[in-house]
Amino acid sequence: MRIDLHTHSRVSDGTDSPAELVAAAALAGLDVVALTDHDTMGGVAEAQTASEQLGIKVLGGLELTCQYDSVTVHLLGYGCQADTPLQDALDELRDDRLRRMPKMVAALNAAGVEIGVSDVEAVARPGATLGRPHVADALVALGVVADRQEAFDKWLDIGRPGYVGHYKVPLAEGVATITGAGGVAVLAHAWGRESRSVLTSDVIRGLAVSGLDGLEVDHQLHDADTRVTLRALANECGLIPTGSSDYHGTGKVNHDLGCNLTSDASFEAIKALIIQRGGRI
């Protein structure tokens, strides 16, 4: 089977609606796709409804923004029940992201960029998880930069003038909250961007002992050597290895649906854990 377990819709910072994403996934020949919007499961129902016509399975998920030491860590959660303490964490993340937006706009204004919160709201789907990619889209719409990448490079990356952080769930709490909601917790792109230096092999071994279920091995931010090392580490620690596109529609280049895949065996292991914990499959 062709299984892609990490994608984003307009309910966070992707550019497809959940229904469009599922249609694109079917067209890309996927049998299973997980919708994993940042800090929300708000698109899952729409995606699952769309999937009924298309002969494709949608696994409900999310990508929880967590913190470990000084770095941001993304944690994928699959099969979580909504009516649990996870919802409180998601509410807190959303509220702080809303408080952050005027701060980002003010920081950009102070750096000489004319932009308002309404410019950001204009490019986001109502209720979407508001983040830096939407600020990037607003900067593109205003003609300040050509694309999202230039917006991050010049204005939004850590250390750039428009960067403002936001509340993140402590990683251990994130793992417990996802698994406590009946879900399965998988560390996303562990050795991409800033987290590589902090999430050492030993740290990942420790996380496996304290409840982490899986490790995203095949990801575009991981080169071939990194994948070999992470696969061996997953094997050693009993973590479920996964692979996925981290598709964001046109919001991220080189992340096409199905560009990395999860094995049938890993998907079966994830489903078995969700069933065992009383999650939603």
The token pair that represents 268 in the structure block: 């079966």
Query: Nearest residue to ligand AMP, using CB?
Result: 131
Q: Is 133 in the site for ligand AMP (CB under 6 A)?
A: yes
277 lies in the binding site for ligand AMP (CB under 6 A): no
Smaller CB distance to Fe ion: residue 13 or 277?
Answer: 13
Q: Give the interface segment with Zn ion, choosing from 62-70, 115-123, 190-198, 229-237 (CB under 5 A).
A: 62-70
Measured in degrees and rounded to the nearest 5, phi and psi for residue 266 equal -65, -40
Angle CA 72–3–57, to nearest 5: 105
Give the residue with the Cβ less far from Fe ion, 37 or 277.
Answer: 37
Q: Which helix (H) or strand (E) holds 240?
A: strand 240-243
Q: Which of residues 223 and 264 has its CB atom nearest to ligand AMP in the complex?
A: 223
Q: In this structure, what are the phi and psi dihedrals at residue 194, rounded to the nearest 5 degrees?
A: -75, -20
The distance of closest approach from Cβ of residue 6 to Zn ion in the complex, given in angstroms and rounded to an integer, is 6
Using CB under 5 A as the binding rule, whether residue 74 contacts Fe ion is answered as yes
Q: Which CB sits closer to ligand AMP, 94 or 277? A: 94
Half-sphere exposure of 60 (CA within 13 A, CB side): 21
Residue 94 tokens read as 């959303």
**DSSP conformation class of 272:** H
Whole-number Å distance between alpha carbons of 66 and 109: 28
Interatomic CA distance for residues 162 and 105, integer angstroms = 7
CA dist 98 to 49, 70, 92, 94, Å?
29, 22, 10, 6
246 binds Zn ion (CB under 5 A): yes
Q: Does 131 bind ligand AMP (CB under 6 A)?
A: yes
Residue type for 270, please?
A: I
Interface pick for Fe ion out of 5, 10, 13, 258 (rule CB under 5 A): 13
Task: Verify binding: residue 132, ligand AMP, rule CB under 6 A.
Answer: yes
- Is residue 157 within the footprint of ligand AMP (CB under 6 A)? yes
Residue 38 found at the interface with ligand AMP (CB under 6 A): yes
Q: Which is nearer to ligand AMP, 168 or 277 (CB)?
A: 168
Residues 9, 231: Cα–Cα separation, whole Å: 28
Which residues contribute to the site for Zn ion (CB under 5 A)? 63, 246
Which residues contribute to the site for Fe ion (CB under 5 A)? 13, 74, 188
Which residues contribute to the site for ligand AMP (CB under 6 A)? 13, 38, 65, 131-133, 148-149, 152, 157
